[in-house]
Structure 1
Amino acid sequence: MEPLTKIKTYHFLPYKYGLELLLDIGRIESLNHFILDNTLHQLSFYEILFIEQGAGTFTLDENKISITPGTVIFTSPGQVRCWEIEEEVRGYTLFFDKDFLYLFFADELFLYRFQYFHQYSFPTGMQISEASFQKCLELLYEIEKEFRQLQNDSSHLIRSVLYQLLVILNRYYAEVYHIQGDTYVHPDFYRFRSLLEKNFVSDRTVEAYTHMLNISSGFLNKICRQFSGLSAQQMIHHKLVSEIKKQLYQNKSAKEIAYEFGFSDPSNFNRFFKKLTGTTPQQYRRKV
């Protein structure tokens, strides 16, 4: 067997500025220890990248995103990523721990209200107009300015600007991919997305989630199609396959992955993966 590929995980440093601050901003090209090569790595926090200049690709899980000026890339905790740079990349990175927003809004579903986070059926990058990108930069400048003169109430000001930025980006994302952009859609859809992130290994049937949500399968399918374009079962399968692909990055055997994801044996795992992707796990591993 080939040696395991080590994927390093980077965690947020909340006391970088002395007082606890669960958000940070920096220039991609000059931020200390920022990875800009093809090393596989993942983050335990959220990040949004704003590309002003550069060329190449940014791989997030198995999806390749072209690096061009005006590109915005969204990454969620745990996604495997790497860069392949052809021309120097310049722009902003904005990253934050989930508690920066959760503790204030007292809503554990808050970040699931934005279509671009925890997304595995639509792309996690988008190209926006120059005017839209400039609007984003103006808000980033406000956050950057506050970091230069941090005060005890700075977290509140930064949080308010971040909230505005997240909502605007959600509108742009909905326009680009022609999907539901309103962040106040049916709460059961957000609850389903949150449960799916936590239970996708043990619960792979629609019935399991309808039981947890205390709703009918027909209603769950209705809201899933309305807000994601997929059925509930398709969303479950998309999530499961996305996580399996992460394991294939690390050269785990089919037997190991089958056991970890609750399949009865490797042959069932192989059939499941090929049915959903059109390729066997071994073929996928060779491709990546």
Structure 2
Amino acid sequence: MASVTKIKTYHFLPCKYGLELLLDIGRIESLNHYVLDSTLHQLSFYEIIFIEEGRGTFTLDENKMPVAPQTVIFTSPGQIRCWEIEEQVKGYTLLFEKDFLHLFFSDELFLYRFQYFHQYSSPTQMQVSEVSFGKCLDLLYGIEQEFGQLQNDSNHLIRSLLYQLLVILNRYYASVYNVQRDTSVHSDFYRFRSLLEKKFVDDRSVEVYSRMLNISPGFLNKICKQFSGLSAQQMIHYKVISEIKKQLYQNKSAKEISYEFGFSDPSNFNRFFKKLTGITPQQYRKNI
């Protein structure tokens, strides 16, 4: 049996400022023991990173992306990551728990309405113009200033600034990658994305998800294509493969992974992985 590599997990500190706040902001250069961790690690919360200066690479799951000025990086809970820094990185990190927005908007699907979170196929970073990056910095300054003088209603002001920031980032992302940015797309698509995060281990067929959503498989495929450019089955497969790769990062055996993901035996698991990636799990592990 393969030895298991322990991956460090960082958790959110809700009472860091004395009262419960499910959002935090900081300068990257002053949080280097957390932000710029060069070992494999993961977060249990959302993070958006704004690079003002620096050079190197940031690896998120298996995707290695360049670190450069005016770059914005989006990470979702549970993704495996590490930094390789060549020149000092400066900028902002914005971190928050989903409930910071979910509870306020009474919408558990709220964060699934933005293209850059829980993304399986498109990039999870973008480089924007100096003007666009400046608009983001203005909102970040506003959040930072409010943290410097917290009051009883500060969470409302901070939440409003975060909401503005998420919306303009969604516009920039849609423009950079030519994807749908309308956050009023059919709600069943967001429900599907949410279910996929919770059910991917147990269910891998479009029919099962369409029954849970009480819609036809054809309609589910239609709205998936409309918003993501992928079929529902492709989205399911992207999610399952991305999660399997996390397990391979930790050197789990094919037998362990096939059991966890509900495959009948390791050979079926190996065939599934090779069909979707072109290589065997063993080859993938060797590459990383």
Fold match (TM-score > 0.5): yes
Counterpart amino acid of residue 55 in structure 2: A
Match of 1:89 in 2: 89
Give the AA of the match of 1:164.
Q
Give the match's secondary structure for 1:77: coil
Tell me how far apart the structure 1 counterparts of residues 102 and 35 of structure 2 sit (CA, whole Å). 27
Deviation at 1:2, TM superposition (A): 4.9
Gaps of at least 5 residues in structure 1 are none
Whole-angstrom CA distance in 2 between matches of 1:201 and 1:170? 29
Cα distance between partner residues in 2 of 1:248 and 1:7? 12
What's the counterpart of residue 46 of structure 1? 46
Question: How far off its partner does 1:8 sit?
Answer: 1.2
In 2, Cα distance between equivalents of 1:57 and 1:270: 30
Query: Secondary structure of 2:30's partner?
Result: coil
Deviating beyond 2 angstroms after TM superposition, the runs of 4 or more aligned structure 1 residues are none
**Aligned twin of 1:282:** 282
* Backbone CA RMSD of aligned residues: 0.9
CA offset digits 1:120-148 (Å, max 9, x no partner): 11110111111100100000000000011
Task: For 2:191, give the aligned amino acid.
Answer: R
- Aligned partner of 2:215 in structure 1 is 215
1:8-157 matched pairs, under 5 angstroms: 8-31=8-31, 33-157=33-157
Amino acid at match of 1:243: E
- Alpha-carbon distance change, 2 to 88 in structure 1, aligned in 2, over 3 angstroms: farther
User: Residues of 2 paired with 1:286 and 1:154: CA distance?
Assistant: 49
Question: Structure 2 length as normaliser, TM-score?
Answer: 0.98
Q: Deviations over 1:255-287 (max 9, x none)?
A: 110110001111111111011111110010011
Aligned equivalent of 1:243: 243
- State the secondary structure of the residue aligned to 1:29: helix
Instruction: Indicate the residue corresponding to 1:194 in structure 2.
Output: 194
* Deviation at residue 32 of structure 1 after TM alignment: 6.6
Cα pair 2:2 2:252 within 8 Å, conserved: no
Partners of 2:35 and 2:2 lie apart in 1 by: 25
TM-score by length of 1: 0.98
In 2, Cα distance between equivalents of 1:136 and 1:158: 14
The whole-number CA distance in structure 2 between the counterparts of 1:256 and 1:48 is: 33
Alpha-carbon displacement from aligned partner over 1:89-139 (angstroms, at most 9, x marks no partner): 110000001110011001000000000001111110111111100100000
CA distance in 2, matches of 1:88, 1:32: 10
Same amino acid, percent of matched pairs: 81
Q: 8 Å contact 1:37–1:85 — kept in the other structure?
A: no
How far off is 1:194 after superposition? 0.2
Distance in 1 between residues matched to 2:29 and 2:282, nearest whole Å: 36
- Do the aligned residues in 1 keep the contact of 2:3 with 2:252 (CA within 8 Å)? no
Q: Distance in 2 between matches of 1:183 and 1:45?
A: 22
Matched, 1:182 2:179: no
- The separation in 2 between residues aligned to 1:202 and 1:120, in whole angstroms, is 18
In structure 2, the residue matched to 1:272 is 272
Q: 1: CA distance between counterparts of 2:147 and 2:31?
A: 14
Instruction: Note if contact 1:258-1:264 (Cα within 8 Å) is conserved in structure 2.
Output: yes
Structure 1 distance, partners of 2:244, 2:55, is: 29
Distance 1:279 1:32 in 2: 36
Alignment-derived partner of residue 254 in structure 2? 254
Q: Distance in 2 between matches of 1:196 and 1:240?
A: 9
Equivalent pairs, count: 288
In 1, the alpha carbon distance for the partners of 2:123 and 2:241 equals 15
CA contact (8 A) 1:29 1:90 kept: yes
User: In 1, Cα distance between the equivalents of 2:9 and 2:29?
Assistant: 20
Unaligned runs of 5+ in 2: none
* Distance in 2 of aligned mates of 1:262 and 1:216: 25
